[in-house]
Chains A and B, each alone.
Chain A
Amino acid sequence: MTPQLAIFFVLAALAVLGALSLIFQRHPIHSALSLIVVMIALAGLYLLMGSEFVAAVQIIVYGGAIMVLFVFVIMLLNAGVEERTNVSKLAGIAGIPLAVALLGFLAAAIARSNESAQAGLQSGTLANTKEISTMLFKDFVYPFELTSFLILVAILGAIVLAQREKS
């Protein structure tokens, strides 16, 4: 086992454990902390693939800005421990088989694309900031701009909702 593979498994285990803990923790802050662990583990995985820039941005944007807002809102609302309800029957009957099926499809898809999984462990081509910006602003400029527009719409919506009505 190469050191890279070992690090991959450690980070992957950390991400999965963090995700599980996110669901099973009963306090919102603990869930948020688990999500931060997932984000950082993902950043580590990007780093392993040789895309340093994406890894740093992952931590700055998701680990930093977005999760800080989550924590901030939880603190502001002073949300308490959540109460567990009985699992609904529909979720038990339909949800679990669907989840297993989805997992199976994903695993099959990943197993089939053998070569891309191999390439993932080598140092990638995404490392260079220039290449990322070329991709974002040249090859995929329309999807990128559309996404930004979507976010802008969401921000405007939030402002409209938050604005007090003038009497």
Chain B
Amino acid sequence: MISFLNANATIIIYLVKIALLLFIVLTVNAYLTWFERKVVAHMQSRWGPHRVGPHGLLQPLADGAKFLLKEDPTPAGVDKFTYFLAPLMALALALTSIAIIPFGPEPLHIFGRDITLGIADLNIGILALFAITALSVYGVALAGWSSNSKYPLLGGLRSSAQMVSYELALTMSVVGVLLLAGSFNLRDIINAQAHHPEWGIAGWNLWPQILGFFCFFVAAVAETNRVPFDLPEAESELVAGFHTEYASFKFAMFFIAEYTSMITVSCLCTIMFFGGWLSPFPASWTFTHYLPSVILIPFGLWVIWDGIRYETIFGRIILPGVGTAITAIGVVLIAFPPVNEFIQGPFWLLGKIFVFLFVYVWMRGTLPRFRYDQLMSFGWKLLLPVSIANVVITAFVILMRGAK
């Protein structure tokens, strides 16, 4: 047994990492729906989900059970193969793209092995991500076509036109960052922003590439079919767009794919423009390393306090338990400096990703949907020229300064 483990350690580590990442991503997906509903509700002066569990925290579980147990009818006249392929493709591609994201600078030392955070560390990292994004159009387009129904077809057509148009701007907007880093690798891109440790936030790619960031973020939101670019599923015109004819778990697969690509885009924004796992503070401010504990301990205490006010079992027992765990993590971080140092990178990365996810939800709560002609003229007449101009300006400045 031990020898088998030793012989196949690399493969086993990879499998465990993949399983763990899948579990985390799917859980985060589920709670992202809760987060979105809650935040949008509060923006609209509502309560949002609050019946199932305290603060509606069990709502994602109820939704999941509902997705699994609902009847799953296949409409008559659909193209069977493509109809089943489309949600599978959407989900598989969305989940694959997460594998390329690195989650922390230092490898984890366990059992005498170095385990890097993140699954695939590719030389062509960002290109591989774009390759996956390029293919993910098919999920939506094929779903729309194979349903053999008017509204999905219109939704699928809209989405393929939209994704093809915005993919150009998306790809061009990144070129500036790639020129600055001189590499496609996501780790190299982050490390290129750490040349001046004392600059902190001022050293990030955001400042020299602010045009690129603008183009990238807008194009990425359009690629993920989110508000204000959610024309493929504009419910006032197209019922539910490309997934009108999908029910039950196949619908859930599109849903999970959409939220997973939101997470991927947030990761990419963070990594390419916001310094990834780099702290926004200068490196000499070591006291900022206690920030995770400063956030975790009060939050954990608040969860305990909040939990014991409930009368249900979940509120009385589980919430204080979770709160105690969170507080304990905060205390452990203070007690063991090496652990604290290790957690800095992932802490900042996840924090920034969370901010971007909030921005996504915020936009959904506040922005109206584009009209179709506005969408097209915005993509082709504004985003594309601006992103090309950004490439030219960046290349020019790098050339003036002298290539590395």
- The residues of A with any CB-CB pair to B shorter than 8 Å are 27, 29-30, 33, 36, 40, 43, 52-53, 55-57, 59-60, 63-65, 68-69, 71-72, 75-76, 78, 127, 129
Contacts and interface: CB of A to CB of B under 8 A. Distances in A.
20 contacts: A27-B79, A29-B82, A29-B142, A29-B145, A33-B142, A36-B135, A36-B138, A52-B122, A52-B123, A52-B127, A55-B124, A56-B131, A64-B135, A64-B167, A68-B141, A68-B164, A71-B141, A72-B160, A75-B157, A75-B160
Contacts of A63: 131, 134-135
A75 B130 CA distance: 24
Contact of B79 (A29, A57, A72, A76): A29
Contacts of A36: 135, 138
Contacts of B133: 64
A64 B160 contact: no
B156 interface: yes
B137 A53 contact: no
A52 B121 CA distance: 13
Contacts of A127: 123
B152 to A, nearest CB: 11
Given A36-B135, A53-B127, 4 more contacts: A52-B122, A63-B131, A72-B160, A75-B156
B144 interface: yes
A64 B124 contact: no
Chain B interface mostly: helix
A76 B163 CA distance: 16
Contact of B130 (A29, A56, A71, A76): A56
A60 B138 contact: no
B54 to A, nearest CB: 45
Given A52-B123, A53-B124, A57-B127, A76 B157 contact: yes
B153 interface: yes
Contacts of A33: 82, 85, 142
A157 B161 CA distance: 21
Contacts of B184: 53, 129
A97 B393 CA distance: 57
B164 A65 contact: yes
A149 B108 CA distance: 52
Nearest to A128: B123
B128 interface: yes
B157 A72 contact: yes
Given A64-B135, A64-B137, A68-B137, A75 B161 contact: no
Given A29-B79, A59-B134, A59-B135, A68 B157 contact: no
Given A56-B130, A59-B134, A75 B122 contact: no
Contacts of B164: 65, 68-69, 72
Nearest to B127: A56
Given A29-B82, A56-B124, A56-B127, A75 B144 contact: yes
A43 B132 CA distance: 12
B138 A68 contact: yes
Given A29-B79, A56-B127, A60-B127, A71 B134 contact: no
A161 B127 CA distance: 34
A133 to B, nearest CB: 12
Contacts of B141: 68, 71-72, 75
Contacts of B142: 29, 33, 71
Nearest to B183: A129
A65 B131 contact: no
Given A52-B124, A59-B134, A65 B167 contact: yes
Contact of B131 (A27, A30, A64): A64
A29 B81 CA distance: 11
Contacts of A55: 124
Contacts of B137: 64, 68
B139 to A, nearest CB: 12
B145 A60 contact: no
Interface string B110-153: 00000000000011100110110111011001101110000001
Contacts of B146: 29
Contacts of A72: 141, 157, 160-161, 164
Interface string B157-185: 10011011001000100000000000010
B154 to A, nearest CB: 10
A26 B351 CA distance: 51
A56 B82 contact: no
Nearest to B184: A129
A33 to B, nearest CB: 7
Contacts of B138: 36, 68, 71
A26 to B, nearest CB: 12
A127 B130 CA distance: 18
Interface in B49-82: 79, 81-82
Contact of B134 (A27, A64, A76, A129): A64
